[in-house]
Amino acid sequence: MKRWLLALTTALLVGTVLAQTTVRIGLAEDPDVLDPDLGRTYVGRIVFASLCDKLFELTPSAEIVPMLATGYTTSADGLTLTLGLRQGVVFHDGTAFDAEAVVYNLERSLELPGSNRRSEIAQITDVVASGPFEVTITLSQPFAPLIAQLADRAGMMVSPTAAEAAGEGFGNAPVCAGPFRFVDRVAQDRITVERFPDYWDADRIHVDRVVYLPIPDTSVRLANLQSGDLQLIERPAPSDLSIVEADPSLVVQSAPSLGYQGITVNVSNPGPRDHPLSDVRVREALELALDRNVINQVVFDGLFVVGNQPVPPSSPWYIAELPIPARDVERAKALLAEAGYERVAFELMVGNNPQGVRIGEVIQALVAEAGFDVSIRATEFASALTLQEEGAYDVFQVGWSGRLDPDGNIHQFHTCEGNLNETGYCDAETTALLDAARAAGDPAERYDLYRRAAERYLPHRHIIYLYHQQLFFPHTADLEGFVAYPDGLIRLQDVRLN
């Protein structure tokens, strides 16, 4: 009898272990700091999607819906916003989520040194708990993008208890209120999270553990997916999609991106003023030497959408009066001569992965015909962002994963005090126009303000927009329930691994 009981107990334990499900996700880069207020990478947002629930959420069709908030009302003058909050939510350390926690989080986003969220919600002048589960937000002016910002990192809630205890080290072990809690991180190797049993929406979580693995090489990421070592990957090489589609053990989901890719030019941040690229004629020559369609065809098999603005041509916020300029090598040469140069040399920083290097090589070949001598610097992505922040770069091939409201793609890059203005561009009129667009409630008025701003910042060419991605997420066929979202985040609600 004892032997039978021992065998039964052993079998039950083995069954329990086997029932544990782990999903391994291949990322194109290693995220930067895992603090919603400090983080700035796309892959960091992917990890945050499992850790940190937000006040509002997006649907696959890009609609905004409540998440930790239950709804909101706005005063007639647009200066007061009242949020209702979900009850029964706890952070991973057991701290209760309530109005005081929201007040703490919004004030942290505004006041934390180095916060990348500050300019995203700068119109907030006061936040008070007007009830146990109600928050009243006062604005300096009407702010149309606020709810969209609260559906992203500015709306991610962290535990006040844990944040106060950890101080500057919070990003090393984040504590939030999402479906998974942080376990550990090994830089450039993995980030592990596990299912949080007290999650408020626990019935939708069917995975026990998630391991995020940074694998910059697209071929290696795909090989690991094919072998079953990974269950899902992001940003495959478009040229590899035919391989995925031909493999019956794999499935690919896709969605159009809200963001853009381009080249960011260091005009004065700090940037030597005597560098040829500080001359707007040289930057215009650089754009005219590029061929966006060639980049799309050669690197991406024509699967992406070329563009010249922060939003794609299909967006209602695209300024049709400012179309994509055609390539003109002779005009580019003439502009260089006018600026006093026969040839101009600069360093192009790209991601240290085959696709990033390939983009750099195509750009290098195209602009050489007009008189540019480009050296390519392949750099690990988080390190490249640090160099960009320090102004230690000439030109950086980089993009933005995109936001639902156009303000999220424009304001922080083109205003004098924008927290992601890494080029040093500062034009008071542009800043005034983009600030006014934030306050405008009428879409036609906002469009006109964005048009007038674009007429100023696009010719400056501190950012030269190139294309807009189609997001692809190959995964194994036994991973069921995954849905691609236009913000590119990987959400694990309703996902099962059979």
Domains in the chain: boundaries: 19-29+178-255+472-497, 53-159, 260-468
Longest dimension (CA), the chain: 96
Please check whether residue 202 is in contact with residue 436, taking contact to mean a CB–CB distance below 8 angstroms.
Answer: no
Q: Please provide the distance, in angstroms rounded to a whole number, between the alpha carbons at the two ends of the chain.
A: 35
Nearest-angstrom CA–CA distance, 333 and 282: 9
Q: Which fold has domain 53-159?
A: Dipeptide-binding Protein; domain 1 (3.90.76)
The CATH H-level superfamily of 19-29+178-255+472-497 is: Periplasmic binding protein-like II (3.40.190.10)
Read off the pTM: 0.88
CB 84 within 8 A of CB 134: yes
SS3 244: helix
pLDDT tens track of the chain, all 498 residues? Answer: 444 444 444 444 444 444 589 999 999 999 999 999 999 999 999 999 999 999 999 999 889 999 999 999 999 999 999 999 999 999 999 999 999 999 999 999 999 999 999 999 999 999 999 999 999 999 999 999 999 999 999 999 999 999 999 999 999 999 999 999 999 999 999 999 999 999 999 999 999 999 999 999 999 999 999 999 999 999 999 999 999 999 999 999 999 999 999 999 999 877 656 789 999 999 999 999 999 999 999 999 999 999 999 999 989 999 999 999 999 999 999 999 999 999 999 999 999 999 999 999 999 999 999 999 999 999 999 999 999 999 999 999 999 999 989 999 999 999 999 989 999 999 999 999 999 999 998 999 999 999 999 999 999 999 999 999 999 999 999 999 999 999 999 999 999 998
C-beta of residue 28 within 8 angstroms of C-beta of residue 40: no
Provide CATH code, domain 260-468. 3.10.105.10
Record the tokens describing residue 420, joined without a space.
């992601």
Distance CA 227, CA 229 (A): 6
CA distances 490 to 188, 226, 227, 475, Å, are 19, 19, 21, 12
The torsion angles phi and psi of 431, rounded to 5 degrees, stand at -60, -45
